[in-house]
Amino acid sequence: MKLTLEKPVYGGDCLARVEGKTVFVPLTLPGETVLAHLTEEKRSFAKAELDEVLAPSPNRTAPQCSHFGVCGGCQLQHADYPAQLTMKREVLRETLSRAGVVIPGKIDVLASDAWGYRNRIRLANDGAGRFGYRARRSHSIVPIRECPIAPPRFLVVAEQVAAFLATDPGPARITELELFTNQDESQLLLTLFCESAPVAGPEPWLATLQEALSTKVTGIRLQASDGALDPAILASTGDPSLTYIVGGFAYRVDHGAFFQVNRWLIDHLAALVTGGTSGELAWDLFAGVGLFARRLADSYSTVLAAEVAPASFPALERNLEGTSGRPFESTTLNFLRRNREEREPRPDLIVLDPPRAGLGEETTSLLNAVHAPEMIYVSCDPATLARDLRSLTLERYRIESITIVDMFPQTFHIETVVRLSRG
């Protein structure tokens, strides 16, 4: 089929129309004319794969990674960086508008270097002893030789682990590995995932692996890969955490704890969320290891930080020691329910940084009832952000500003910071 692409959609594809049917085509750009073939057809939409670009966009550029198009890790390397930011702004604006959210005059964008930014990657074992990412639109594994959005040393370590496993596979089959480094790559945590518990004790094997790696690894952990919130830790060696410096603050971050992934923009994100605010009481909900709570503790008399993830809460406690911050081992929903029952003092500010699923109906209802003068919502999913903002702004909240913080260049992911005030 000959198609003319109209606009970008969330997920990295662009949209065309054929006889009233919407067709989604990856690896294309708005305004391009292409040849494509259908791969999936439903009643109201279809999916296609690109065959040839007949009339390229002036924003089309050569991808920097040889795996692009096959690997599913990046979706936008064929677009120059200014075009990527424009597309993300368009996708966010349309998503919010469709939900009935009133948008301020502009959507700001905060961006930095679009390459080498990741401080964490997770790779899967392809069964032949090679590590790689999931393929685009497939569960198969693409072994990788390079990853320009991550530090080169990550792949060096992955290759060394693969070579070690080839000669000493250990007490359990390794299915995945994760690498996490701090701001200057002076510390590195390695997590190995396996499907079943080892028959024999794996601690000596892990110690041997750590010694065999020519690239220094601060700590190694072996855990079950069952996706549980509190996974079974089977063995560990070395340090269980690293120290991450953000905005002059030293944060403890443990194995498996959530932490923002873009090492070039973490400082800017933290400053955007917490800067220019002060008062008596602030809440940091979905607090993680305390990235925002620790900074808020310098400008608020009391900061209450709620986090439930076992991988994050001990570090949150440590990072708030000696400050005005008080950690609560609780889900955000339970924290808000308790607040409603006990009628705690109203906070001056609420910071929200939920996972991709967003807040949900009950949480937004409870937040509306708190009547906090100001809220800051950090979102990693435009659809759930739009749903939640609709609920919040139906009450008395209005949007003061919207900023895309491009934490994930070369991908379709959109990180957004929304500042709301109560009218």
* Cα R_g (the chain), whole angstroms: 23
Alpha-carbon distance of 135 to 359, in angstroms, equals 30
pLDDT tens digits, 23-47: 999 999 999 999 999 999 998 899 9
H helices of 111-151, in order, are none
Q: What is the DSSP letter of 408?
A: S
Contact by Cβ (8 Å): 280, 348: yes
Phi, psi torsion values for 21, nearest 5 degrees: -100, 135
- Second-level CATH architecture of 1-60: Beta Barrel (2.40)
pLDDT of 307 > 80? The answer is: yes
Alpha-carbon distance of 420 to 423, in angstroms, equals 9
Across the strands, what pairs with 283? 304, 350
Looking at residue 354, what is its pLDDT? 98
pLDDT of 287 > 70? The answer is: yes
Looking at residue 418, what is its pLDDT? 98
Would you tell me how many other CB atoms lie within 10 Å of the CB of residue 310?
A: 16
What is the number of residues in the chain? 423
Q: Which CATH superfamily is domain 108-112+261-422 in?
A: Vaccinia Virus protein VP39 (3.40.50.150)
Q: How confident is the model at residue 200 (pLDDT cuts 50, 70, 90)?
A: low
Phi, psi torsion values for 138, nearest 5 degrees: -160, 160
Tell me the domain boundaries of the chain.
1-60, 108-112+261-422, 120-244
Looking at residue 61, what is its pLDDT? 98
Q: Residues with Cβ < 8 Å from 152, sequence gap 6 or more?
A: none
* Pairing mode of beta strands 131-134, 188-194: unpaired
Section 354-362 average pLDDT: 97
Q: Which residue is associated with the tokens 């909900």? A: 285
Alpha-carbon distance of 266 to 259, in angstroms, equals 9
Alpha-carbon distance of 293 to 305, in angstroms, equals 6
Say whether 120-244 and 1-60 share the same fold: yes
pLDDT of 117 > 90? The answer is: yes
SS3 63: coil
Which phi-psi region, left, alpha or beta, contains residue 332 (left: φ > 0; alpha: ψ -120 to 50)? alpha
Alpha-carbon distance of 297 to 65, in angstroms, equals 42
Contact by Cβ (8 Å): 415, 404: yes
Looking at residue 423, what is its pLDDT? 79
Looking at residue 137, what is its pLDDT? 85
pLDDT tens digits, 167-192: 998 888 899 999 999 999 999 999 99
pLDDT tens digits, 64-104: 999 999 999 999 999 999 999 999 999 999 999 999 999 98
Secondary-structure percent of the chain, ordered helix, strand, coil, rounded to 5 = 25, 35, 45
pLDDT mean across residues, the chain: 95
pLDDT tens digits, 310-342: 999 999 999 999 999 999 999 999 999 998 888
Q: How confident is the model at residue 228 (pLDDT cuts 50, 70, 90)?
A: low
pTM for the predicted model, two decimal places = 0.95
Alpha-carbon distance of 68 to 144, in angstroms, equals 10
Q: Give the percent of the chain with pLDDT over 70.
A: 98
Section 292-306 average pLDDT: 98
H helices of 244-331, in order, are 266-274, 291-296, 313-319
- One CATH from 3.40.50.620, 1.20.810.10, 2.40.50.1070, 3.40.50.720 for 120-244: 2.40.50.1070
pLDDT tens digits, 134-157: 999 888 999 999 999 999 999 999
Looking at residue 195, what is its pLDDT? 82
